[in-house]
Structure 1
């Protein structure tokens, strides 16, 4: 699984690598990027979360992909499959560097990872846990064809976070993709 590589028109998606950390820490320190993701993280906290993602790949065989911009080779975010203990479902999530917002990278990468999660991981449904005020992520979810499933409840220490669950089934995803 660690050799997984997905290429889209503009992105390379691959598992987390040690060389990604400086860009990861920069992204996680940005207050606007992390407004709906628990707030900015100091470098030491970002390191722990970075290692969590690397551990997901080692122990679960999947995790969010590092997003590499094909035209520059630059790390620009992370997105893809995520299912921590107690999570309300199999999630496809995203978080990208602010200077890439509005380019369609989140929907392009999320679509590729949804294909991969359904085909390779055998997932039957995906969710996106989104704060109701995060209009940009709601737009991505809608562009992917996901619909509002209702309010969600995250496990501790996120139990007080307000999230709506958006999502769709494997059948819904592939019926839409065939159109």
Structure 2
């Protein structure tokens, strides 16, 4: 498909690619709407809700990953500080705190060319990058929320480089 004239599938083409990717990984997925699909994936630290949302008007695919992290009200300031310090280290995407449900989200947006198409490899790269960052920084949030560590201590503790293998 190189044109959206006469082909209704272009409206949700990137979402279809993510559906195929989620299916190939064996992750339970569900089409939420014409332009959105969600899946559930298990990581080392958490179960993740993944969402691919296509905005055809803007030619933007937004990918979100939600680790199973609930932020307690008295730790919001520390979580905001940790998110700021974490985001300084990211090349793609960013973490956010969503205050209404009290959760952490990882979000990344991709501009898609005028064809409205993504390859399976591009979808895989977006999803895997999001999961890798969530897995990498999940312990930081746990140290801040439940371990009594400051954001800088949490980052130092969580990102210790180990030598060798156990």
TM-score normalized by the length of structure 1: 0.28
* Greater relative contact order (Cα < 8 A, sep 6+): 2
Question: Which has the larger Rg?
Answer: 2
TM-score normalized by the length of structure 2: 0.30
